[in-house]
Amino acid sequence: MSKESKKMLVAVAGQPNSGKSTIFNILTGARQHVANYPGVTVEKKTGSYHLKEDTVELVDLPGTYSLTSYTQEERIARDFLLNEKPAVVVDVVDTSNLERNLYLTFQLAEMGIPLVINLNMMDVAERRGMNIDAEKLGQQLDSPVVLTVGNRGKGKKELKEAVWTISKEGKSNQFRLEYGEALESYLNPLEKLLSDDTVLSANYPLRWLAVKLMENDTEAQRLVRENSSDGTKTLNFVDEKRKDYTLKHKKAPEKAIAQMRYQVAQKIVEASVTRKKEIKRSLTDRIDQIACNRYLGPIILAATIYLLYELAIVQGYNITPYTWPLLAAFRDFLASILPSVGFIFDPFFRSMPLWVTDGTIAVLNYVPIFLILFALIAILEDTGYMARMAFILDRIFRHFGLHGQSVLPMVISGLYVGG
Amino acid sequence: MTLGEMKPGQECEIVDVIADGILGQRLMDMGFIPGTRIRIIRNAPLIDPIELEMKGYHISLRHSEAKEVEVKTL
Ligand SMILES: Nc1nc2c(ncn2[C@@H]2O[C@H](COP(=O)(O)OP(=O)(O)OP(=O)(O)O)[C@@H](O)[C@H]2O)c(=O)[nH]1
Ligand SMILES: [Mg+2]
């Protein structure tokens, strides 16, 4: 029998801005197919690459901080993982924010899918003086760890290799987050109850389901209601347990669960990361102190906008006396080679080209203004001042309903002055 | 007192997240967990948003969100 080529489904998951699309692009060589997830306007990017005899189908999942069912992005990522059951998930981690990123990693691991932990943004982490014991981190998460600098393509080969290796092993992730005695005494009986249900236990990771039910997750409740023969009984049991926990511990279980995830993340980070003295970000900080100052900020902003106006519009217009003669000379040249002027009417072959030329010249006359304006805006964008402008103007933008998300994480550190 | 009442330069520790539902969950997902230390970097010129440093990274919150986080000063 000939060696058969196999298709393998791999998902790229991670928190917003961790570099998922960058990693997706370096793996697939940016050969991608863009569609929408069924029924929603969220983009679904797929692509593929070959390794050895396999074809890897790669899917770029939406970036999410968590995997609750509150937002569309989270529901999409989670439904994809539950229903499409990818062979491997590449968990793209912003290493410079390792602790917060692990919060999502835990939830991916809980779903039982084999993970490759992709520590991306290693250059930023190193600049922050982080030294990471990748092996130790991998042991604690029962997953291989690969270091990358996505935007420079560093670590691409190792990442492909790790995905291939783990897909061949074909064993599920054995990492199990221990939520502590108080919560476990609720989670364990619930998991046991769920395991008695043949449909649920055949289709869903039960530990994950137990945790989500304890978190009062509405989509998890729907899964139980629709798939279990005894759904109502299970949900009543959950409800009772949630009330009981809240009463006993004066705290909603979902809060305790989030807290435990962060506690464990902190422990893992402490065990696998050592920090040298941070390489100072003081320059950025000091510039911010001035650029975003309560009083100076708006003044600098106004000055910047005035400067834009002065340089682009005023000075750009001052250039036109120099560029205009060139354009005018061209028109004169054109006029000289066209049929000569008529006594009453100009011949059509004269007037028509001249109309077109006049119109074009009228627009070309403003080209210096646009060139200067675009160049200046590019500079503002690159230095990160645009982001500061957004910060200062947020209040005004809000009146026009222009803000995106309710919690706007401005990871200023990602906006180093000069990139 | 709540995070919304803090002044630039002050440091505090989270006591509780008051909000339930999506806002409460999102705050916790972002790392607003009891015991976590926060440093107020600045209040933006036109009041919103507040900028904070927490766990080594910067976050911007609106006052309406910040008042859902109960803190104590250090
Ligand atoms: N310094 C540094 N920058 C990186 C690295 N990887 C990606 N970036 C940059 O980080 C930014 C975000 O990368 P994306 O790939 O768009 O991130 P994403 O996770 O797809 O973001 P969302 O889709 O919005 O969630 C881009 O400007 C990348 O060029 C890295 O390893 N180091
Ligand atoms: Mg992306």
Q: pLDDT tens across A354-408, in order?
A: 888 888 888 888 888 888 888 888 888 777 787 777 777 765 566 555 443 322 3
Q: Using 50, 70 and 90 to split pLDDT, how confident is the model at A242?
A: very high
A346 pLDDT higher than 80: no
* Inter-chain CB proximity B29 and A396 less than 8 Å: no
- Mutation pick from B25, B39, B65 vs chain A, by most beta carbons of A within 10 Å, is B25
The ipTM is 0.91
Q: What is the pTM of this model?
A: 0.74
Least confident interval from A182-186, A238-242, A283-287: A283-287
Count helices and strands in chain A by DSSP H and E runs: 18, 9
Residue A20 vs residue B47, higher pLDDT:
A20
User: What pLDDT is stored for residue A252 in this prediction?
Assistant: 94
> Does residue A384's CB lie within 6 angstroms of at least one atom of ligand 1?
no
* Whole-number Å distance between alpha carbons of A234 and A192: 11
Burial (CB count within 10 angstroms: exposed 0-12, middle 13-18, buried 19+), residue A102: buried
Higher pLDDT, A45 or A103: A103
CA distance A295 to A291: 10
The sign of the CA dihedral A322, A324, A329, A330 is positive
Is residue A331 over pLDDT 60?
yes
A119 lines ligand 1 (CB under 6 A): no
Residue B32: closest CA among chain A residues belongs to which residue? A259
What mean pLDDT value characterizes chain B?
A: 88
Q: Does residue A17 have its Cβ closer than 6 Å to ligand 1?
A: yes
Is the CB–ligand 1 distance for residue A126 below 6 Å? no
User: What would the mean pLDDT of A17-46 be, rounded to a whole number?
Assistant: 83
Least confident of A25-29, A108-112, A407-411, B69-73: A407-411
Tell me how far apart the alpha carbons of residues B33 and A260 are, in angstroms, rounded to a whole number.
9
What pLDDT, on the 0 to 100 scale, is given for residue A416?
27
pLDDT of residue A408: 30
The atom of ligand 1 lying closest to the CA of A120 is 31
Q: Taking residues A339-364, what's their average pLDDT? A: 77
Tell me, yes or no, if A416 comes closer than 8 A to chain B by beta carbon.
no
Is the predicted pLDDT of residue A284 greater than 80, yes or no? no
The percentage of residues in chain A with a pLDDT greater than 90, rounded to a whole number, is 53
What is the predicted pLDDT for the residue at A411? 27
Average pLDDT, integer, range A249-276: 94
Q: Residue B7: its chain A contacts at CB < 8 A? A: none
pLDDT digits (tens, 9 = 90+) for A1-11: 444 567 899 99
> Which segments within A73-195 are labelled E, that is strand?
88-94, 115-120, 130-132, 145-147
The answer to whether residue A256 scores a pLDDT higher than 70 is yes
Q: What angle do CA A301, A292, B5 make, to 5 degrees?
A: 130
- Note which residues in 213-272 of chain A have CB less than 8 A from chain B: 252, 254-255, 258-259, 262-263
Measured CA to CA in angstroms, residue A172 lies from A81, A87, A116, A140, A281 at distances of 13, 9, 12, 15, 41
Nearest CA to ligand 1 atom 10: A19
Domain boundaries, chain A: 7-169, 180-275, 287-418
pLDDT of residue A52: 83
pLDDT at A245 exceeding the cut of 90 = yes
Ligand 1 centroid distance, CA of A122 (Å) = 12
* pLDDT at residue A43, as a whole number: 81
Binned at pLDDT 50, 70 and 90, residue A409 comes out as: very low
Average pLDDT over residues A157-166: 94
CB proximity list for A47: less than 8 A, separation 6 or greater: A24, A27, A28, A30, A31, A32, A33, A58, A60
For residue A171, the model assigns a pLDDT of: 80
Dmax over Cα atoms in chain A, in whole Å?
A: 103
Domain A7-169 of CATH type 3.40.50.300: yes
Supply the pLDDT for residue A406: 29
Task: Say what the pLDDT of residue A399 is.
Answer: 56
Tell me what pLDDT residue A339 has.
72
Q: According to the per-residue pLDDT averaged within each range, which of A157-161, A307-311, A389-393 is highest?
A: A157-161
The 10s digit of each residue's pLDDT in A167-225 is 988 788 889 999 999 999 999 999 999 999 989 999 999 999 999 999 999 999 999 99
| % chain A with pLDDT above 70 | 88
A180-275 maps to which CATH number? 1.10.287.1770
Q: Which is higher by pLDDT, A96 or A316?
A: A96
pLDDT-based confidence at residue A413 (cuts at 50, 70, 90): very low
Q: What is the pLDDT of residue A378?
A: 83
Q: Are strands B69-73 and B11-17 parallel, antiparallel or unpaired?
A: antiparallel
Residue A99 at interface with chain B, using a CB cutoff of 8 Å: yes
* Average pLDDT taken over every residue of chain A: 85
Give all domains of chain B, ordered by start, each with its CATH number: 3-73 (2.30.30.90)
Q: Do A395 and B44 touch (CB under 8 A)?
A: yes
| Residue bearing the CA closest to ligand 1, atom 7 | A19
Joined tokens for residue A393: 């103007």
Tell me the mean pLDDT in the region A254-265.
Answer: 96
Q: Decide: residue A359, CB within 10 A, 0-12 exposed, 13-18 middle, 19+ buried.
A: exposed
pLDDT by residue (tens digit) across B42-68? 766 556 788 899 988 889 888 889 989
